[in-house]
Amino acid sequence: MRGRDTLTDIVGVKSFSESFFFIVTGVMPDARQTVCFDACLNILMDHGLTPGAMVARIVEDSVPEDMQVAIAAGLLTVANRHVGTMAGAGRLLAEAMQSGEAPETWAARTAARFRDRKRRVPGFGHPHYSPEDPRATRLFEVAMGAGCEGRAIALLKTLGAEVDKTLGRHLTLNVSGAMAAILTEIGFPVEAMRGVAVVGRAAGLVAHIYEEKQDGLTRSLLEMADREFTPGADGEGQPT
């Protein structure tokens, strides 16, 4: 694996998170980076009955012998509407860091640009959490505790202040924004950020699918859906 002997240097020596970080970046993370990376992987692991979890459970009910099929189907929902804005926020931060502009200048310019285009600033806004997304707050706390808080997190917070000023109302800095900042902080590349969400979610889906094998939630759900939503259901049933 990337120039190291997998069997002697990785297996039995490194944690999954360390190996994952290493196989993507080529750099073995230090303890500080590992704490932050683990926090990001864990924060998206479970979110109750998300669309992806429902998809995985329904597919599991149809294909009980092949868990990878249900996981793959569930992962297909990890798109822009849900966790996709992470990479968008990561790209903004990368631009800011390369531009060399003063943070406030960059933030004001960026906030204005999104307002003018009437587009949402990636990493900000949440339908339920305000003024703070507790997951973002916790991630920042962990990063600070690990000694990781640095330039990217500061930039994102500055951007948040300018977004509020520009719009005249408060937008929550959400968990996707926080993850983007922390992953930037520890040197994880923007282009692979969605992979962190995907792997974290994959673990959560394994739990959902295993639970489905026991509690059979899907059957109740399908029956309920059938009852509620099938107009003029005629008992046609499914093909055997």
Cβ-based nearer residue to a second copy, 14 or 103? 14
d(CA 220, CA 18) in angstroms, rounded, equals: 40
Count Cβ atoms below 10 Å from residue 34 Cβ, excluding itself.
18
Q: Minimum distance between the CB of residue 140 and a second copy, rounded to whole angstroms?
A: 10
Interactions with a second copy, residue window 3-22 (CB under 8 A): 6-8, 10-12, 14-17, 19-20
What the block records as the tokens of 19 is 């190996």
Interactions with a second copy, residue window 135-164 (CB under 8 A): 135, 138-139, 141-142, 145
Contact 73/57 with Cβ under 8 angstroms? no
Which phi and psi (to 5°) does residue 112 adopt? -65, -40
Interactions with a second copy, residue window 82-121 (CB under 8 A): 82-83, 85
By the rule CB under 8 A, 191 interacts with a second copy: yes
Cβ-based nearer residue to a second copy, 108 or 209? 209
d(CA 16, CA 158) in angstroms, rounded, equals: 33
Please select the residue that binds a second copy; options are 28, 45, 94, 97, rule is CB under 8 A. Answer: 45
Cβ-based nearer residue to a second copy, 64 or 102? 64
Contact 235/229 with Cβ under 8 angstroms? no
Size of the site for a second copy (CB under 8 A): 111
State the number of CA atoms in the 13 A half-sphere of 192 facing the CB. 15
Please select the residue that binds a second copy; options are 33, 110, 174, 184, rule is CB under 8 A. Answer: 174
By the rule CB under 8 A, 59 interacts with a second copy: yes
By the rule CB under 8 A, 210 interacts with a second copy: yes
Please select the residue that binds a second copy; options are 29, 33, 35, 103, rule is CB under 8 A. Answer: 35
Cβ-based nearer residue to a second copy, 81 or 100? 81
By the rule CB under 8 A, 131 interacts with a second copy: no
Helix axes 175-185, 151-167, angle to 10 degrees: 150
Helix axes 103-116, 85-99, angle to 10 degrees: 140
